[in-house]
Amino acid sequence: MKTRAAVAFEAKRPLEIVELDLEGPKAGEVLVEIMATGICHTDAYTLDGLDSEGLFPAVLGHEGAGIVREIGAGVTSLAVGDHVIPLYTPECRQCKSCLSQKTNLCTQIRATQGKGVMPDGTSRFSYKGAMLHHYMGCSTFSNFTVLPEIALAKIRTDAPFQSACYIGCGVTTGVGAVVNTAKVEAGATVIVFGLGGIGLNVIQGARMVGADKIIGVDLNDDKAEWGRRFGMTHFVNPKAVEGDIVQHLVALTEGGADYTFDCTGNTTVMRQALEACHRGWGVSVVIGVAEAGKEISTRPFQLVTGRVWKGSAFGGARGRTDTPKIVDWYMNGKIEIDPMITHVLTLDEINKGFDLMHAGKSIRSVVVF
Ligand code: NAD
Ligand code: AHE
Ligand code: ZN
């Protein structure tokens, strides 16, 4: 079949809207009509050539919601007409990782996902006879896409696609990092570095679990109002701090935070986030994705004295199990999504979404097909 899609033909070049060829689903696969897709900073990072796994040409996009239009042989858990969220972190419920119950990082199809192909090693996308790569196993910047059954979460049909798509990455990543990874408790002190599409969801997650002090840190003063809107109690712009930012935050939290979260992808900030944790028990969670070649460092003494450095992918959420529950949280008013969707675009306007993100003028841009 044919499908309209935004294609990244090369790094650092705007996406091109073209009509592609899409092969139908093979055994264990599902054809999905994408109804809406968010633009996450990770898409921009890959398009900018900063991802060590980045492949071109590719159909990017990993934050979508849509409808099952066709199922391949052997698919049993989904039917035509089901509403779904594509999962870049699938859940096979059979691999060592899934069975361990210690991680959400299913390993069943991770190798082929990283190579930009389906589990059988081939791509379903082509343009003028040449193969295009899938991206993060999702490729939601295409009106139609094919995914493995284990990489789709079935969700309730009354959830609007325009909001539900954000649960496919940003919302789950931020709220999940609080609930699943850090397990923040009521009364805790939390610092969030980077108040974008992910950081604001960490803030609302911290509010949801009853954190007392929620400090937001961002270089962009415009983000202060955004943070307050979702539960932030204090705002710090490092540019306005005289002296050392870590000392400033440690003083503000009377010895350091119980939990800190990096939502910037900047390795210097990741170190600051660790060092702003309380001696003896503070936990710092790395959410931000750093560019290829970057490394983190700190004095080992920071860890010897009880601070803990952790990472979180997709908020520690088990895709097929947890994502439908987060949709319920949204539908029941436990979490907010709509105010964070600052821009709704057509597929033809998708590059504008990247420009708005780089200019710090959007929280989430969503493309509606
Ligand atoms: P975004 O562009 O919407 O927000 C980033 C925010 O960080 C902006 O407000 C920016 O002003 C701020 N910032 C940048 N540099 C800063 C600095 N030095 N100090 C303080 N603030 C700074 O991006 P996003 O969509 O929220 O994504 C944030 C990060 O999370 C990215 O690195 C993205 O790749 C990553 N991410 C990770 C996961 C995961 O599963 N681990 C999931 C989604 C996104
Ligand atoms: N491919 C990169 C790493 C990119 C990365 O860390 N991705 C996150 C999700 S970001 C979503 O916006 C993730 O889930 N990582 C776990 C995984 O298995 O990819 C690199 O450095 O090679
Ligand atoms: Zn993302």
User: What would the pLDDT profile of 161-185 be if each residue is shown by its tens digit?
Assistant: 999 999 999 999 999 999 999 999 9
My answer on whether 33 and 151 are in the same domain is yes
Same domain, 8 and 122: yes
Residue 45: left (phi > 0), alpha (psi -120 to 50), or beta? alpha
Identify whether 155 is part of a domain: yes
- For 29, list phi and psi in degrees, rounded to 5: -115, 165
Residue 318 lies in a domain: no
Report helix, strand or coil for 300.
helix
240 shares its domain with 203: yes
This complex has an ipTM of 0.99
Nearest ligand to the CA atom of 245: 1
Separation of CA 114 and ligand 3 centre (Å): 15
> Do 151 and 16 reside in the same domain of the chain?
yes
Pairing of strands 144-148, 29-38: antiparallel
Taking alpha carbons only, the member of 196, 189, 192, 193 closest to residue 212 is: 189
User: Do 215 and 343 fall within a single domain?
Assistant: no
pLDDT of residue 23: 98
How many angstroms separate the CA atoms of 341 and 365, rounded?
6
* Strand pairing report for 234-236 and 213-217: parallel
- pLDDT, one tens digit per residue, over 340-361 is 999 999 999 999 999 999 999 9
Q: Which residue is closest in CA terms to ligand 1's atom 1?
A: 196
- For residue 325, being part of any structural domain is answered with no
How many whole angstroms from 250 Cα to the centroid of ligand 2? Answer: 30
Say if residue 156 is in the same domain as residue 179: no
Ligand 1 atom closest to Cα of residue 197? 26
Find the 182 Cα to ligand 1 centroid distance in Å.
Answer: 18
- What is the span of the domain harbouring residue 117? 2-168+337-368
Protein residue whose Cα sits closest to atom 25 of ligand 1: 41
Closest CA to 43 of 55, 60, 26, 59: 60
| Listed residues: CB within 5 A of ion ligand 3 | 40, 42, 169
pLDDT of the chain, 369 residues: tens digit per residue: 999 999 999 999 999 999 999 999 999 999 999 999 999 999 999 999 999 999 999 999 999 999 999 999 999 999 999 999 999 999 999 999 999 999 999 999 999 999 999 999 999 999 999 999 999 999 999 999 999 999 999 999 999 999 999 999 999 999 999 999 999 999 999 999 999 999 999 999 999 999 999 999 999 999 999 999 999 999 999 999 999 999 999 999 999 999 999 999 999 999 999 999 999 999 999 999 999 999 999 999 999 999 999 999 999 999 999 999 999 999 999 999 999 999 999 999 999 999 999 999 999 999 999
CA distances from 307 to 4, 76, 179, 180, 259 (A): 49, 45, 19, 18, 10
Q: Kindly identify the ligand whose nearest atom is closest to the C-alpha of 104.
A: 2
For residues 156 and 252, state if they share a domain.
Answer: no
Residue 25 lies in a domain: yes
Specify the pLDDT at position 87: 98
Within a domain: 91: yes
Q: Which atom of ligand 2 is nearest to the CA of 105?
A: 18
Instruction: Give a yes or no: residue 322 inside a domain.
Output: no
Please identify, by atom number, the ligand 2 atom nearest to the C-alpha of residue 136: 19
Which residue, chain included where needed, has tokens 């935070």?
257
Say which amino acid occupies 133. H
pLDDT of residue 228: 98
Per the structure, the count of domains in the chain is 2
Ligand 2 atom closest to residue 63's alpha carbon, by position in its atom list:
12
pTM for the full predicted model:
0.98
Amino acid at 55: L
Q: Which DSSP symbol is given to 23?
A: P
Residues 63 and 87 reside in one and the same domain = yes
HSE, side-chain direction, 13 A CA sphere, residue 225 = 5
Strands 144-148 and 259-262: unpaired
Ligand 1 centroid, distance to 312 Cα (angstroms): 13
Q: Is residue 10 part of a domain?
A: yes
What confidence score (pLDDT) does residue 75 get? 98
Q: Please report, in angstroms and rounded to a whole number, the separation of the first and last CA atoms in the chain.
A: 17
Residues 45 and 147 in one domain: yes
- Which residues are identified as catalytic? 40-42, 62-63, 92, 95, 98, 106, 110, 169, 364
Residues with CB under 6 A from ligand 2: 40, 42, 51-53, 89, 105, 110, 169, 289, 313-314
In the chain, DSSP assigns E strands to 2-7, 16-22, 29-38, 64-71, 83-86, 125-127, 130-131, 144-148, 152-155, 189-193, 213-217, 234-236, 259-262, 283-286, 308-311, 341-345, 364-368
Ligand nearest to the CA of 238: 1
* Residue 150 and residue 13 share a domain: yes
Residue nearest (by alpha carbon) to ligand 1 atom 29: 288
pLDDT of residue 137: 98
CA 134, CA 147: separation in Å to the nearest integer? Answer: 10
Q: Are both 190 and 308 inside the same structural domain?
A: yes
Let me know whether 144 and 38 are in one domain: yes
**CATH number for the domain that contains residue 194:** 3.40.50.720
CATH number, position 89: 3.90.180.10
d(CA 133, CA 96): 27
Residue 306 resides in a domain: yes
Q: Whose CA is nearest to atom 8 of ligand 2?
A: 313
